[in-house]
Structure 1
Amino acid sequence: MTMEKILWQHIQLVRQQSPLVHNVTNYVVMNNTANALLAAGASPIMAHAKSEIKEMVNIAHSVVINIGTLDEYWSESMIMAAEIADSVNKPWVLDPVGAGATTFRDQVLHQLLQYRPTVIRGNASEIIALAKANDTVTKGVDSTAGSSDAMDAAQILVQQYNTIVCISGETDIILSPGKCFHLKNGHPLMTKVTGLGCSASALTGAFIGCSEDKVQGVAAAMALLGIAGELAFLESKGPGSLQVSLIDKLYNITEEEFTQHLKIEQK
């Protein structure tokens, strides 16, 4: 079976199973990521109250932890969610937004990593900072490095935590202990819409929540968002209309559109 067919099957699986994705995420992107999940066929829930974290993690198919708007309360909720997800073998995604920017972020990330995320998804600067591979400093939540620059750092994380690392950028690189995919979908205008990286992490959570092959699931999620972005650009006048068109395309993308536009290599 071709890779196009395999990844499309993962997209169909999300639509059929509608996995419940528990997001402990930042309040800048809650609406965006919830809409992206719904459009792709998943069921989002945004909950960070410590009194309900355990129950939420247990009923969800997967957990997404995004440290974008970090504070002391939310960090405790995130650590609790990660610990419970690890203890009940629930797949979870870590989005290390702004890793390396402050001591507080790095301390929280250090604690979260102890609970073995299934997937770590971030831009190159965040992945480099997370692995402490060099002295690169992040520029807020934007990347000052290309995805290929973070390969060594990603390998460190893969080996140390037995995880899948997705480095987002002009080329998305997906690394696991046994596989490596290079994905070249997307459009530069997507960088002008806040939170599309966060949407990528949320969609990744949906796909690993129902896909047995987690690496393929990550590749399918990233390919879906990238291709939807390319197609949405054709109908957009700028970043505002791109965001709306992208949500529509996540909802109505066809197999023909997906297979014709997919640009993926297995290394």
Structure 2
Amino acid sequence: MSYLSKVRDSNPLVHNITNIVVANFSANGLLALGASPFMADAHEEVVDIAAFSAAVVLNIGTLNDYAIQSMVLAGQSANKHGVPLVLDPVGAGATSYRTSVTQKLVNEMQITALRGNVAEVANIIGESWSIKGVDAGEGDGDVVVLAETAARKLGCIVIITGKDDVITNGVNTYITSNGHPILTKVTGTGCLLSAVVGAFLAVSEGASLEAAVEALSFYGVAAEIAAELTTGQGPGSFQIEFLNQLSLVTPETYQDKSIINQLR
């Protein structure tokens, strides 16, 4: 059975502590996929919610000290209870505050999967790569080597998204090549992707890397179909159709359209 089918059959509860820009989109995307979103950051309840969730997703898009403490509490609770934990280090490297917060999170909890662009991941492990706001700048490094190095240093799955996506645990590495450029015209598509990775990890039953690979490729397939159906209509129409396709893409369609290469 595909991980997509498992998500839709089991309706995993995904606890999100995310940014104010994308909370609604992430919740709707998870619902469309077949997961159950829980959006909460109160210190008084995040420990309990993380404990009974199927996955926890932390997103540092809009930072403040209260949210950071919520993330630490939820992340450590997830670790204690064996719940998969995804970190989206939005804008790490753009400011010293974001970089230090990300370092705090990776040092104080065990991340299952880190998903970011190449500049964010590079800055987390102290490598040089330019960043513009929350977007990766130009760089001349080897993205695959960077991802594998980060995975080994952090002891987790590292996902670097871009034109092609790199997914690695530091030993085995995959490249997925599905997706569409219009994803970059809709705020929050990367953040939602991190939440979708959380949903797939929730049903991975120990095969976290394979589940993450399917999550990335499935997400790209949904985007490709949505872009084709809304050609010439702009990002607003695409956004709505993309949510539709997160619900409508079948495992059979996914298998037919997925482009996955295993490097090692």
Taking structure 1 as the reference length, what is the TM-score of the superposition? 0.93
Q: Is the 8 A contact 2:28 2:243 kept in 1?
A: yes
Pair 47,162 (structure 1): closer, same or farther in 2 beyond 3 Å: same
User: Runs in 1 of length 4+ with deviation above 6 angstroms?
Assistant: none
Q: Is the 8 A contact 2:4 2:251 kept in 1?
A: no
- Residue 150 of structure 1 deviates from its aligned partner by 3.1
Partner of residue 240 from structure 1, selected from 236, 240, 260: 236
- Residue 34 of structure 1 deviates from its aligned partner by 0.7
Q: Secondary structure at the match of 2:56?
A: strand
Inter-partner Cα distance in structure 2 for 1:13 and 1:215: 16
Q: Is the 8 A contact 1:204 1:221 kept in 2?
A: yes
Q: Secondary structure at the match of 1:226?
A: helix
| Identical counterparts, % of pairs | 39
Inter-partner Cα distance in structure 2 for 1:66 and 1:127: 14
**Cα RMSD (Å) of the superposition?**
1.5
Q: Is the 8 A contact 1:28 1:195 kept in 2?
A: yes
How many matched pairs? 259
Task: Summarize deviations over 1:141-191 as a string: whole Å, max 9, x none.
Answer: 112147974333322321122100000000000011331110000001111
Task: Summarize deviations over 1:92-114 as a string: whole Å, max 9, x none.
Answer: 00000000111111111111102
Pair 203,145 (structure 1): closer, same or farther in 2 beyond 3 Å: farther
Inter-partner Cα distance in structure 2 for 1:193 and 1:204: 18
Q: Determine the structure 2 residue equivalent to 1:221.
A: 215
Q: Determine the structure 2 residue equivalent to 1:132.
A: 126
Pair 173,29 (structure 1): closer, same or farther in 2 beyond 3 Å: same
Q: Is the 8 A contact 1:124 1:147 kept in 2?
A: no
- Residue 224 of structure 1 deviates from its aligned partner by 1.3
Task: Summarize deviations over 1:30-63 as a string: whole Å, max 9, x none.
Answer: 1111111111110001000111011111110110
- Residue 137 of structure 1 deviates from its aligned partner by 2.9
Inter-partner Cα distance in structure 1 for 2:208 and 2:140: 21
Q: Secondary structure at the match of 1:234?
A: helix
Taking structure 2 as the reference length, what is the TM-score of the superposition? 0.94
Q: Determine the structure 1 residue equivalent to 2:163.
A: 170
Q: Determine the structure 1 residue equivalent to 2:113.
A: 119
Q: Give the residue type in structure 1 aligned to 2:234.
A: G
Partner of residue 19 from structure 2, selected from 14, 22, 26: 26
Q: Which runs of 5+ in 1 are unaligned?
A: 1-5
Inter-partner Cα distance in structure 2 for 1:87 and 1:178: 26
Pair 148,259 (structure 1): closer, same or farther in 2 beyond 3 Å: farther
Q: Give the residue type in structure 2 aligned to 1:120.
A: L
Pair 255,84 (structure 1): closer, same or farther in 2 beyond 3 Å: closer
Q: Secondary structure at the match of 1:120?
A: strand
Inter-partner Cα distance in structure 1 for 2:98 and 2:170: 26
